[in-house]
Amino acid sequence: EDQVTQSPEALRLQEGESSSLNCSYTVSGLRGLFWYRQDPGKGPEFLFTLYSAGEEKEKERLKATLTKKESFLHITAPKPEDSATYLCAVQVKDKIIFGKGTRLHILP
Partner 1 sequence: DSGVTQTPKHLITATGQRVTLRCSPRSGDLSVYWYQQSLDQGLQFLIQYYNGEERAKGNILERFSAQQFPDLHSELNLSSLELGDSALYFCASSGWVQETQYFGPGTRLLVL
Among 99, 102, 104, 106, binds partner 1 (CB under 8 A): 99
CA distances for 64 relative to 75, 93, 95, angstroms: 9, 22, 22
Among 1, 28, 41, 68, binds partner 1 (CB under 8 A): 41
Number of residues that bind partner 1 (CB under 8 A): 22
Is 29 an interacting residue with respect to partner 1 (CB under 8 A)? no
CA dihedral 89, 33, 103, 64 (to 10 degrees): -170
Among 101, 102, 104, 106, binds partner 1 (CB under 8 A): 101
CA angle 17, 87, 85 (to 5 degrees): 55
Task: Name beta bridge partners: 90.
Answer: 33, 97
Among 74, 91, 103, 105, binds partner 1 (CB under 8 A): 91
- Interface with partner 1 (CB under 8 A): 31-32, 34, 36, 41-46, 49, 87, 89, 91, 94-101
